[in-house]
Amino acid sequence: MSLKPVLFVSHIDVVPATEGVSSEWSRPPYGGEIFDNYIYGRGAMDLKFTVIALLEAVDELVKSGWAQPERTLYLAFGHDEEVGGDRGAATMASLLASRGVTLDFVVDEGGPILVDGLPSLLLQIALMGTAEKGFNSIIANVSGKGGHAMAPPTDHSTVPASMSALVWSVDQHPPATHLVPPVTHFMKALAPACPNPVLRFVLSHCENRFLGYLLAKLLARSSANTAAVVRTTVGVTRMNAGTADNVLPDTGAVLFNFRLLPGHSLDYPLQYLQKHLSSLSGKVKLQQAGGQKAREATPVSSPSSEQFNIVARAIYETVHPEQGIVVAPHLMTGASDSRHYLDITANGVYRFFPLFMNLTAGDVSRVHGIDERIKVDDFLQAIKVYFRMIQLACGDRNASSGTNTRQT
């Protein structure tokens, strides 16, 4: 086979769900129950449905008399993605590397299909993640004078006061906004479908320095989700100080978690925090946190490559084309198992899964939430999407995109 292998990634682990009488679920969270044309259960959206849909798609391809594929197809299902993937995807990537395998491209979970579109763009949007933000956590260790709590200082010099001042400064002065790929790729992909001529012009010229600056500022103020794609974000995830009710602590610690934009190095969090320490001279020392390994944002995969077009073509051909759909690159603010395969991948990682999500109906809150579910029809459609995607990826470009997926 002359073509490098392709890898489809998913994971079988899920986050916990409360069972029994204390559960808020309307159906058993681990029952896999079909009710009112929905499949209920933890993993119905994240992410067991893609494991099953991929296996069903391969099964249907074999049953259809699929000819010899032009490349090797790998399916890799991790068991610990929700906690970093170090024992699942990382181990599988190491195994493939030890065998000398170089992948052409990888398809993993990522952007869903927004069935109700976005404001000013009322058609389906398939989001394909072409990059993931980076990750770094920094601990600020704060020291000061302790003492008895019966007479605390009045000059705001206590350790808790210094911690609060640092957190307030960071909260009031977040990292600067920037419009970078793949966010610019996202805007340019949406521009042709935008009915408003002014907005269409602005989106199509988002790489203009002035327009890009304005768009980034607008997105930063619109919502937490849009702000996260135009700046490196920083959030306080832990604060510790004191051990007794009547003693002023002489040490404390604040953990700042950064999600890095493409282009920001691992040094950026330290440089950023240093600017907030001027009024706390000598009281704060910064150090790298342990736990999850720090990493920069992943490389941005090309939205004009043959590999991107394979995934996009499968979507265009199978996802209710009569309703209109746009495939748009986007920046993932979370992480996926795909990052573990970057070192053995030649032509990019494309993060998309055929999950039909209705923002208006509140589907987002069901992911890792109460009453996680997927429509039976949408699950069957996901099989068709993967069926066609695998056909195209493995060289069978002219075959029919139809399947005979059994009905439930």
Catalytic residue list: 13, 81
- Cβ-based neighbours of 327, under 8 Å, separated by 6 or more: 126, 128, 189, 311, 312, 315, 316
Alpha carbon distance 205, 179 (integer Å)? 12
- Cβ-based neighbours of 345, under 8 Å, separated by 6 or more: 7, 102, 103, 104, 105, 106
Contact 195, 313 (CB under 8 A): no
Q: What is the number of other CB atoms lying within 10 angstroms of the CB of residue 332?
A: 23
Peptide bond into 47 cis (omega under 30): yes
Q: Rounding to the nearest 10 degrees, give the CA dihedral for residues 346, 351, 354, 360.
A: -160
Residue 25 DSSP one-character state: -
- Cβ-based neighbours of 225, under 8 Å, separated by 6 or more: 333
